[in-house]
Amino acid sequence: MDIKRSYYEDIELFKSNTILVWSILFLVFLGILPWLVKAYHLLGMSIYILNLITINALVAIGLNILVGYTGQISMGHAGFFAIGAFTTVIFIVNWSFPLYIALPIAGFISSAFGFILGLPALRLKGPYLAIATLGFGMSITTIIKHMEFFGGRMGLQAPKLYLFGTPMKDIHYYYVIMIIAVLMVIGALKLIKTRVGRAFIAIRDSDIAAEAMGVNLTYYKTLSFAVSAFYTGIAGGLYALILGFINPEGFTMIMSIAFLAMVVVGGLGSIMGSIAGAALLTYLDIKLQVVQDIPAIGPALVAFSQKYMSMAGISNIAVIVYGLIMILIVLFEPLGIFGFWIRTKRYWKTWPF
């Protein structure tokens, strides 16, 4: 069943009719999801949280291309995220570009920075690269802070966009973001299966062996950074729009690390894992504190936390549980959520054996 007879079969998106049907069903589900959320508050979600999850998923995919597929590390993706956000807003506000032009421009400017950051990455590895990228992320926000052009520390207000004359709300952004996300996910899936993706994976597994096989390290390493930054830049532009206001203080080192956590928890080297990781961590980050509303257990936890930790109350517990979930996933399933998926699938297929 899994025998491939030509290269084109391997990059085919829908390998069987079952997958095709499920994919279409999934797209339909994405289409009606806002209504479900609005009518039933599925899992306590709002459309805005869906948007945020999708945006984080785009960043996680971009970062996974770099970390999971090419084996490089970046702790500065909040920098690319900020570049995307600020350039999108500036192109729309200052030079009145429409969104569908401003957003790709932001993506390309971000990927240009990715290319530049990719150059030192040629000589740096592991922890050294981590520190270099960390520095990049922090210096970007510092530069933005000091340039009045970017609004300085006061920040910029994102423009109000109109769709056929009506101001865009979360639900409109949902469809814009979702269409972009679906296209970019397909793009990433294809990229990984083709020559470029295979070169990335070869570099990850052993860069010396890859070079010996004729993979141009300079080209592919910088390309990986650029592609990763492109995804993050686009996501940053969308983030600025749904938030309505951006200032450099919002793009912290913690944010970069949170992106990395999404990739690791989701599963290194897996596009679907990135999406799952982004969804899980974004959701937990926002929703864990709802525990305090549960009768009896909630107040007990708050009291416990205030007595033994600090007056902040439930947040202490939420932070600990959040960290604990991350540790447990990485400990018991090194492949992350994607690993769970594979195991479940295998279990399902071979049931009842």
Give SS3 for 267: coil
Q: Which x/- pattern over 314-343 shows residues binding another protein (rule: CB under 8 A)?
A: xxx-xx------------------------
Listed in sequence order, the residues at least 6 apart from 125 whose beta carbon sits closer than 8 Å to its beta carbon are none
**Which segment (37-45, 65-73, 128-136, 204-212) binds another protein by CB under 8 A?**
37-45
46 near another protein (CB under 8 A):
yes
Residue 295: count of CB within 10 angstroms of its CB: 7
User: Which of 2-20 are b and which e, b meaning 16 or more Cβ less than 10 Å from the residue's Cβ?
Assistant: eeeeeeeeeeeeeeeeeee
Nearest 5°: phi and psi at 157? Answer: -95, 130
**Binding pattern to another protein, positions 127-146, x when CB under 8 A?**
------------------xx
Residue with tokens 């009719």: 17
41 binds another protein (CB under 8 A): yes
Strands (E), 98-202: 156-157, 162-163, 166-167
Which of these segments, 5-13, 121-129, 222-230, 307-315, binds another protein (CB under 8 A)?
307-315
Helix 297-308 to helix 314-332 angle, to the nearest 10 degrees? Answer: 100
Question: Residues 108, 185, 205, 80: what is their CA dihedral angle, to the nearest 10 degrees?
Answer: 30
Strand, helix or coil at 199?
helix
- 304 contacts another protein (rule: CB under 8 A): no
Regarding 239 and contact with another protein (CB under 8 A), the answer is yes
Asked if 247 is part of the footprint of another protein (rule: CB under 8 A), the reply reads: yes
Position 306 contacts another protein (CB under 8 A): yes
For residues 243 and 240, give the distance between their C-alpha atoms in angstroms, rounded to a whole number.
5
Going residue by residue from 93 to 132, which x/- string records binding to another protein, judged by CB under 8 A? ----------------------------------------
193: contact with another protein by CB under 8 A: no
48 binds another protein, rule: CB under 8 A: yes
Asked if 161 interacts with another protein (CB under 8 A), we say: no
Contact residues: another protein, CB under 8 A: 18, 36, 38-44, 46-49, 52, 145-146, 152-155, 157, 170, 239, 242-247, 249-250, 252, 254-255, 285-286, 289, 306, 311-316, 318-319, 348
